[in-house]
Amino acid sequence: MAVARFGRQVKRPGGFCIKMTAVAILGLCFIFVWSMFSSSSSSVTTRIESFDNIGAPPGSRNTRVNIPATQSSIKGEDEKKFNGSVTLSAHEHKSEKKDQKEVANVKKGKGKKKLPEKVSKLKHGSEESESEDSEKEKEDEDEEREVVDGKEEALNDEGEVNGEETGGEGAFIVSLDQESEEKLEDDGGESEERGKKRYKIKGPLFDPKAHYHWKLCSTRSKHNYIPCIDMEITTGRLQYRHTERSCPRTEPMCLVPLPRDGYGSPVPWPDSKVKILYKNVQHPKLAAFIKEHSWVMESGEYLTFPQNQSELRGGILHYLESIEEMVPDIEWGKNIRVVLDIGCTDSAFGASLLDKDVLALALGLKDDLVDLAQVAIERGFPALVSPFGNRRLPFPSGVFDAIHCGGCTIPWHSNGGKHLLEMNRILRPGGYFVLSTKHDSFEDEEVMSKLAASICWNILAHKTDEVSDVGVKIYQKPDSNDIYELRRKKYPPLCKENDNPDAAWYVPVKTCLHAIPSAIEQHGTEWPEEWPKRLERYPDWLSDKDKLVADTKHWKAIVEKSYLTGLGIDWSNIRNVMDMKAIYGGFAAALSQQKVWVMNVVPVHTPDTLPFIFERGLVGTYHDWCESFGTYPRSYDLLHVDHLFSRLKNRCKQPVSIVVEMDRLLRPGGWTIIREKVEILEPLEGILKSLHWEIRMTYAQGKEGILCAQKTMWRP
């Protein structure tokens, strides 16, 4: 009635004043509602601080740290400033009004202060200038892609926007590797992944109102649960491992329990080379294995590893020296830097090579149930668990300087020699394949020789060592295609030109030979520089070296000025590190002087930069983070996550399962450093708190932030 009466009054001759009054009332109501929303309890107060140069460790382990406003710069031909940062919190902060350059009120997820749309680029000290319209266009056109047969195809439906914005005077805070990744995608860069359905997630990646109630996994493999490798059956005899990678239909949302006898803090490096806590790796089959092998011994609560002891008589050092004597071109730690150790039967091999500056990645095949890869990881050596059946291993082509198979039981000559052909794919042109056996039958030896000759491997040496009583064969892969044309029988045939040798995720092993790279734009045409020169040498086949130089400088500055000194991490307790979204390996290269090793994971939906990471003398693997990673629980001391979640919005059915997987990968007491959008970090902080992780530090600037957290011993 009142509204109708008001309407009749408006129509009268004097209704103009009433109209103006109504407009004024509506305007006041709008201002009131706007102020209510803009002063949310979870608003972020902007304080210009150092985002990438956190200068002091946290004063309290359980509180956030506010550092006085500082600015630092990287000096080059032109001075580039780091952006400041703001404190990120899910709690209420009072707005402080200061100098216009220092303070701006920011709504949760959306900055009230206008942010620059253009991202400045560091390129030999000079900035590339591009129009704001074209830059915004690039961000908006970052379409979701579906991969078919190893190649990306753009979808017509709406995809996620991966462009990052940042405030402040400079834009250096945006990860240069992420910027370069987006450019590569715009340029049509290929990525290899398993063709699978996209999940359209409406709204935020993580529901900020969700409440999580966790429970322990009730799997038969208990504290050693590897979801995509363990086979869980309810009746009959338990078979622990799949012969192929096979993940559960639904991502696990349970937490892996701790070992039955409890979990102790790992022995720090380098003491872990000679002893580890037995209860951390206890396994039913391991006890029987220890009784039969002299290179590992039980001593009280520890497993000990006597120096220079191995399954080989005469010791592992004699074994390595005899290999160099047989082939002098094998110079451990110089000419040979990256080695794949098939089978992981004796971690003394990787331990001794590490003393020679060789990075040996052990491949645990998980067919003997002994869990020796877990022993290697606990000792602080690089290891990966993967079945080796009908699918390619998760590595690009031509990246390993040498491959070693010491007493492994792989039938190289079976099924058309497909396993040896897979070794040929991942072995660098001119690389070495070292095969050693104690008791090789004459028939197997003859078949192996014929197979090696059919793929043109040259036998450089064949000798039975009198001390170790082990027969050693050293093969070399050809470094050009000329020899392939000289074969009498063209079997195995050369692979088709459209068969991408770098496609490795869920790709079947082919019984064909890939041509040796010959074009200058292909990786593998030249042998890398000696270590450590190769770490910062950029080969001719890289198209844009300026981006890589900038990326290296970027991560070096962040690691030195922030990660090593400003996050409160005790790096003497850090040995096993994973970069969950490595691009050029800049983060791992920045840690090269630290006593750590880094597993560089290149997600399958991003541009393929893994060959360059190996070229630098580092190790890594392909992976799809919508699935579980191939390693044991409690493998890593530190996880580095740079803008991974924001790129998985339309890929994973349950993005929260990635956080659950991080909890499985990380050791109790381990750390994670997450760089992400504020809109993702805020609910993510709540998820980590529900897991009883301790949030050590959070910072943000504009729409970007950083979170540092530590996992506890808590289990539900």
DSSP 559: I
In a domain, 417, yes or no: yes
Coil, strand or helix at 483: helix
Structure tokens at 549: 């130089």
pLDDT at 495: 94
In a domain, 82, yes or no: no
Number of structural domains found in the chain: 3
pLDDT at 254: 97
DSSP 536: G
Last residue of a domain, one of 441, 466, 486: 486
Identify whether residues 600 and 546 lie together within a single domain: yes
Identify whether residues 563 and 669 lie together within a single domain: yes
- The packing angle between helices 176-186 and 545-558, to 10°, is 150
Contact 178, 583 (CB under 8 A): yes
In a domain, 452, yes or no: yes
What is the 3-class SS of 627-647, one letter each residue?
A: CCCCCCCCCEEEEEEECCHHH
Identify whether residues 471 and 593 lie together within a single domain: no
Domain hosting 289: range is: 259-309
Q: 554: Cβ–Cβ under 8 A, 6 or more apart, which residues?
A: 122, 172, 175, 176, 177, 586
Helix and strand numbers (H, E) in the chain are 15, 25
- Which residue stretches of 315-467 are H helix? 316-326, 348-354, 372-379, 418-426, 442-454
In a domain, 329, yes or no: yes
In a domain, 523, yes or no: no
Low-confidence ranges of the chain (pLDDT < 70): 1-23, 29-203, 232-242, 366-370, 440-442
pLDDT at 411: 84
List C-alpha distances in Å: 167 to 84, 123, 385, 490.
9, 20, 42, 61
Identify whether residues 570 and 671 lie together within a single domain: yes
Identify whether residues 553 and 696 lie together within a single domain: yes
Global confidence as pTM: 0.76
pLDDT at 489: 83
CATH number where 658 lies: 3.40.50.150
Q: DSSP characters for 92-119?
A: --------TTT--EE-SSSBSSPPPSSP
List C-alpha distances in Å: 424 to 113, 236, 396, 429, 541.
56, 39, 11, 9, 21
pLDDT at 191: 41
d(CA 716, CA 663): 13
In a domain, 588, yes or no: yes
Last residue of a domain, one of 486, 503, 531: 486
Identify whether residues 248 and 265 lie together within a single domain: no
pLDDT at 141: 37
List C-alpha distances in Å: 341 to 315, 385, 571.
17, 12, 27
Identify whether residues 454 and 331 lie together within a single domain: yes
Identify whether residues 470 and 584 lie together within a single domain: no
CA dihedral in degrees (228, 231, 234, 237; nearest 10)?
-170
Last residue of a domain, one of 292, 309, 326: 309
Identify whether residues 591 and 605 lie together within a single domain: yes
Identify whether residues 275 and 392 lie together within a single domain: no
Closest-CA residue to 412 (of 665, 403, 165): 403
In a domain, 673, yes or no: yes
Identify whether residues 609 and 686 lie together within a single domain: yes
Identify whether residues 449 and 556 lie together within a single domain: no
pLDDT at 406: 87
Q: 62: Cβ–Cβ under 8 A, 6 or more apart, which residues?
A: 694
Q: 200: Cβ–Cβ under 8 A, 6 or more apart, which residues?
A: 157, 650
In a domain, 100, yes or no: no
pLDDT at 195: 40
